Chains A and B, each alone.
Chain A
Amino acid sequence: MKAERLVSLSDPEAPFGRISLVEQIPFGKKLALDRYRLENGLQILTLIDRSAPVVAYHTWFRVGSRHEKPGKTGLAHLLEHLMFVEFEGLSAGTFDAKMEELGADNNASTWLDFTQYQEAFPKAHLATVVKLEATRMAKLVLEHDLVESEKEVVMNERRYRVDDDVEGRLEEALWASAFQHHTYHHPTIGWMPDIQAFSAADCADFYRTYYAPNNASVVIVGDFDPAKALGLISRTYGHIPPSEIPLEDVEPEPAQTAARRSELELPTTTEKFALGFKGPALGDSDHVVCGILAEIVAGSRSSRLFRTLISERGIAAEVRTSVGPHRDPSLLEFFVSMRQGQRADAGLDLVLAEIERLKAQPVSRAEIERAVARSELGLLGSLETADGKAGTIGFYECLSGQPGDAFSRLAAMRRVEPSDVLRVARRYLRLEASTLVVGRPKVELPHDSSEAAS
């Protein structure tokens, strides 16, 4: 019966308009996602959520800065900017103007492994948004002057996020040093000379190659009629042909066998450092355990390094850890910003001592339970809006192909034992596989501010 209904939803005039139901996927205890596939390969994930009269519509493309070549870094991100500008039948600026008229909250982001576009809007406007997004997937116009102007915007974004931002510069230097073969080496925003050199033809090539229905998933969450939505998608996307997605040509990062250390002089008043260890990929079961480890070490005020560096010793202003949520093995990262007059080396010694402790003694169950509770709070917080749910679904769909992974990861966290944390600490927190970037102040202060801080 369901199959017959799907056939009736398909657009017989569209060469790729046939829709098929692929699977139902649990999303938490109460909800379930439906996965459909259009004949051109477009994946469609739907989740009904009638808690507010709104719909979130996200399009996730499985292309990011990992797919860029040397000399062409930042292309995925520049293209994301251009995807708001001009399309066949929609002159420059019209796309955004239409979205604003609908009251839509729209945005986009690019990272190492993906590029995503998102809208949240009042439920009455689903048909308009579907048409606009289908147009965006197939009918981008790349005119020289507009590309040049948007390059200026991106260069300004780079100045804002990296060149004039102390942490941005440390972070960029850390990844560039830690990854010397893999494309995770270069920043998603790209190197400045590469951004300057892009042509409209570069963007067009990238668009034609990667922006295709068989390289994308559409996620729809909110108060909508799924039959109508699927019918719309069949009619609007069913004419877009699939593309031959090139074989991915990413070189795995060889095992790191010697510690790397570099220093930067930065326009800051305090010393800082970023320390990265080669960590697991998102899909690796160790990733969940490393996430727990990161929470225990510096995830909150009750964490070990927060207590040591900030509360007890009072030598740091900020400390945090993270495990890169990426498709390929990533970094388990420590970032510390010292207080005025405190040396980075003093903070580093304490971080390394804590790492040795993690490798020598199991963490307590109470620490694991707190880390899990915080993660659960974070997950629930991300699911409060339709937009948040769509983002969570789209992220895991794009990264792991499992759109309900947020919940399976939470379940996996609950199974983590102290011995698991001990094992991943020994496996990943190896000094010979670490990269350190220290930032030293270059600024001459007009007065001795360290005196006031002491």
Chain B
Amino acid sequence: MNTQVSTRLWALDDALPLLHASVALGAGGSATDPEGREGMTRLLLRLMRRTAGGRTAQVSDELLDGLGSSLSGEVGRSVAALHGTVIARNISPFLAFLADALARPAFDAEELGRLRAEALAELDELLDDDGALVRRAFEQRFYRGHSGSRPGSGTRTSLGAITIEDMRRHHERLLRRGSLTFAFAGSGAEADLDRFASDLDTSLPGQGEGWSRPAFPELSPAKGRVLHFVDKPERTQTQIMIGCLAAHPRDDDHAALHVAHTIFGGTFGARLSQEVRAKRGWSYGAYSALPIDRFRQPMTLWTFPKAEDAAPCIRLVLDLFEALVDRGVSQREVTLAKKYLKNSHVFSIDTPAKRVSLALDAEMLGLPRNHHEEFLERMLAVDKPAVDAAVRRRLSAENLLITVVGTHKDIGSGLEQAIPRLTTSEVVAFDQVI
């Protein structure tokens, strides 16, 4: 349990008359939404914005627009936050609104009804976006049986089940004294911002009662090579996402694994993009990702070839990944990747908003506040044997989830034949993903 005062992070600078303010809720994100109530944190953040201080949604929207400001919620798996930006001359009224949104929302059932209908409509819109569809389908299947599978945007069923009383209880759970982390960047007076944070913090319930950061069990992903086909009619192109369990930021070899990801698919010049796009023209893009969270995350590979090229493209990507795991990387690749990581780091910190965002990210993941600077140093210190060892230890070319959005009758059997050592093949209708 945690009872300390709220945390403040600063990167103040008057270069532009703009203030960014973020308030992160340490007690949870989508993975802590109760089972059957997926999407609740997202709905709550939206309800808070719309009904701040008992205002109607229309009054709130007009006020925010009139101030030259924006305010929106972001829900990750283990953390949620409100992020706002305001023209500097209107900082005071904006912060007053933000305090109302956080501490004094109205739990208006009619507004919740409108919100729910909008959220359901957004799910339908997602069906038009194959890139979003493949990501959602991959995540649901990859995290199956783990709270990480709970989608931040909810499901048709879960959104329908959420009541205004659920909202009220969820607010009480997430908004506890000492549980918030405030991050300010840009133009503003530190004393004023500090006072805002203190006043807001003391207005929240929970003195002496404490609160908890969420804890998560380890994932147990499916074994073998699983083809998870999302069947959608009339696709001339496929969306492919392949992944295996990989990274945790507290691993001692996480920096080495990040260098491996950079070499494999982290840049345009990386192996994936060169082999899939530059040499063969098979896809407009081919990249890997190595996200971090409070629990272990997958390394994912993403590309989108035309339907006819999907089978050879998947085969190529699997061969490339297997070569990475079996044979590692070259010294030259390590040297170039480290140069890229060192030189490009400045673009993670070239604005006050980016600097404070990195610190906030570290804080919410329970990492040292200077984690990202230290992480760069650690990456620059790794050598080829360390990268090869991290790849062998953390990645598996045998336990892979391969999610494909495409038209199954056209390419399904071809894909099954193209994947060596395929252990499971599943097909799901595209509209069942939501």
CA of A125 to CA of B339, assembled, Å: 13
Is A402 engaged at the interface, CB distance under 8 Å to the other chain?
A: no
Is the pair A453, B124 in contact by a Cβ cutoff of 8 Å? Answer: yes
Chain A binder among B35-43, B207-215, B228-236: B228-236
Is B252 engaged at the interface, CB distance under 8 Å to the other chain?
A: no
Would you give the shortest CB distance from A190 to chain B, in whole angstroms?
14
**A317-B122 contact given A122-B346, A373-B65, A373-B67, CB 8 Å threshold:** yes
- Identify 8 new A-B residue pairs, CB closer than 8 A, beyond the known A121-B343, A269-B127, A307-B58: A102-B343, A152-B281, A164-B130, A164-B236, A165-B128, A167-B128, A267-B232, A300-B65
Would you give the shortest CB distance from B161 to chain A, in whole angstroms?
12
Interface membership of chain A positions 108-128, coded 1 if the CB is closer than 8 angstroms to chain B and 0 otherwise:
000000000000111001000
CA of A167 to CA of B429, assembled, Å: 22
**What are the residues of chain B within 8 A of A101 when measuring CB–CB?**
336, 339-340, 343
In residues 361-397 of chain A, which contact B (Cβ within 8 Å)? 366, 369-371, 373-374, 376-377, 380-381, 383-386
Is A12 engaged at the interface, CB distance under 8 Å to the other chain?
A: no
Would you give the shortest CB distance from B128 to chain A, in whole angstroms?
5
One of A104, A149, A302, A443 near B279 (C-beta < 8 A): A149
CA of A269 to CA of B123, assembled, Å: 11
Is A278 engaged at the interface, CB distance under 8 Å to the other chain?
A: no
Is the pair A301, B236 in contact by a Cβ cutoff of 8 Å? Answer: no
**A377-B306 contact given A160-B237, A317-B125, A384-B351, CB 8 Å threshold:** no
Chain B binder among A34-42, A48-56, A67-75, A133-141: A48-56
Is B327 engaged at the interface, CB distance under 8 Å to the other chain?
A: no
In residues 433-454 of chain A, which contact B (Cβ within 8 Å)? 442-447, 449, 452-453
**A269-B281 contact given A380-B87, A385-B351, A453-B124, CB 8 Å threshold:** no
**What are the residues of chain B within 8 A of A300 when measuring CB–CB?**
61, 65
Chain A binder among B9-17, B21-29, B356-364, B416-424: B9-17
Is the pair B16, A380 in contact by a Cβ cutoff of 8 Å? Answer: yes
CA of A166 to CA of B160, assembled, Å: 27
A299 nearest CB neighbor, chain B only: B65
**What are the residues of chain B within 8 A of A155 when measuring CB–CB?**
306
**What are the residues of chain A within 8 A of B66 when measuring CB–CB?**
366, 369-370, 373
Is the pair B124, A159 in contact by a Cβ cutoff of 8 Å? Answer: no
**A377-B237 contact given A149-B280, A340-B121, A370-B62, CB 8 Å threshold:** no
B278 nearest CB neighbor, chain A only: A93
One of A269, A307, A381 near B431 (C-beta < 8 A): A269
**What are the residues of chain A within 8 A of B281 when measuring CB–CB?**
148-153, 156
Is A417 engaged at the interface, CB distance under 8 Å to the other chain?
A: no
Is the pair A100, B336 in contact by a Cβ cutoff of 8 Å? Answer: yes
Is the pair A449, B124 in contact by a Cβ cutoff of 8 Å? Answer: yes
Is B114 engaged at the interface, CB distance under 8 Å to the other chain?
A: yes
**What are the residues of chain A within 8 A of B278 when measuring CB–CB?**
92-93, 149
Is the pair A384, B16 in contact by a Cβ cutoff of 8 Å? Answer: yes
Is the pair A445, B431 in contact by a Cβ cutoff of 8 Å? Answer: yes
**A381-B85 contact given A149-B281, A370-B62, CB 8 Å threshold:** yes
CA of A337 to CA of B118, assembled, Å: 12
Give how many A-B residue pairs fall within 8 Å (CB-CB).
Answer: 187
Is A314 engaged at the interface, CB distance under 8 Å to the other chain?
A: yes
Is B268 engaged at the interface, CB distance under 8 Å to the other chain?
A: yes
Is B315 engaged at the interface, CB distance under 8 Å to the other chain?
A: no
Is the pair A103, B342 in contact by a Cβ cutoff of 8 Å? Answer: yes
Is B136 engaged at the interface, CB distance under 8 Å to the other chain?
A: no
B59 nearest CB neighbor, chain A only: A302
CA of A66 to CA of B118, assembled, Å: 39
A residues near B, CB below 8 A? 51-54, 92-93, 96-97, 100-105, 120-122, 125, 148-153, 155-157, 159-160, 163-167, 267-270, 300-302, 307, 310-311, 314, 316-318, 337, 339-340, 366, 369-371, 373-374, 376-377, 380-381, 383-386, 442-447, 449, 452-453
**What are the residues of chain B within 8 A of A151 when measuring CB–CB?**
281
**What are the residues of chain A within 8 A of B432 when measuring CB–CB?**
446
CA of A374 to CA of B65, assembled, Å: 6
**A103-B124 contact given A302-B58, A373-B66, CB 8 Å threshold:** no
**A339-B87 contact given A151-B281, A317-B118, CB 8 Å threshold:** no
Which one of B118, B128, B306, B431 has the highest number of Cβ atoms from chain A below 10 Å of its Cβ?
A: B128
Would you give the shortest CB distance from A416 to chain B, in whole angstroms?
16
CA of A270 to CA of B340, assembled, Å: 44
CA of A163 to CA of B234, assembled, Å: 10
CA of A125 to CA of B347, assembled, Å: 14
CA of A339 to CA of B124, assembled, Å: 8
**What are the residues of chain A within 8 A of B353 when measuring CB–CB?**
384
**A311-B121 contact given A101-B340, A160-B304, CB 8 Å threshold:** no
Interface size on B, residues (CB 8 A): 70
Is B305 engaged at the interface, CB distance under 8 Å to the other chain?
A: yes
**What are the residues of chain A within 8 A of B250 when measuring CB–CB?**
none
**A52-B18 contact given A152-B280, A153-B284, A445-B431, CB 8 Å threshold:** no
Is B381 engaged at the interface, CB distance under 8 Å to the other chain?
A: no
Q: Can you name 22 A-B pairs with beta carbons within 8 Å?
A: A93-B269, A100-B267, A103-B339, A103-B346, A149-B278, A152-B281, A156-B237, A156-B306, A159-B236, A160-B284, A267-B234, A302-B62, A310-B118, A340-B121, A369-B66, A376-B68, A377-B68, A384-B353, A385-B350, A442-B234, A446-B431, A453-B121
**What are the residues of chain B within 8 A of A385 when measuring CB–CB?**
350-351
CA of A257 to CA of B284, assembled, Å: 40
Is the pair A51, B13 in contact by a Cβ cutoff of 8 Å? Answer: yes
Is B70 engaged at the interface, CB distance under 8 Å to the other chain?
A: yes
Is the pair A311, B85 in contact by a Cβ cutoff of 8 Å? Answer: no
**A340-B339 contact given A267-B233, A373-B87, A384-B16, CB 8 Å threshold:** no
**A377-B127 contact given A100-B269, A156-B284, A156-B305, CB 8 Å threshold:** no
Is the pair A268, B128 in contact by a Cβ cutoff of 8 Å? Answer: yes
Q: Which 9 A-B pairs have the closest CB atoms?
A: A103-B343, A152-B281, A373-B68, A317-B121, A103-B344, A302-B61, A52-B350, A370-B65, A149-B281
Would you give the shortest CB distance from B114 to chain A, in whole angstroms?
6
**A377-B87 contact given A156-B282, A300-B61, A385-B351, CB 8 Å threshold:** yes
CA of A376 to CA of B87, assembled, Å: 8
Is the pair B284, A157 in contact by a Cβ cutoff of 8 Å? Answer: yes
Interface membership of chain B positions 226-258, coded 1 if the CB is closer than 8 angstroms to chain A and 0 otherwise:
000000111111000000000000000000000
CA of A386 to CA of B281, assembled, Å: 32
CA of A160 to CA of B432, assembled, Å: 22
In residues 148-165 of chain B, which contact A (Cβ within 8 Å)? 156-157, 160
**What are the residues of chain B within 8 A of A120 when measuring CB–CB?**
347
A150 nearest CB neighbor, chain B only: B281
**What are the residues of chain A within 8 A of B17 when measuring CB–CB?**
380
Would you give the shortest CB distance from A393 to chain B, in whole angstroms?
16
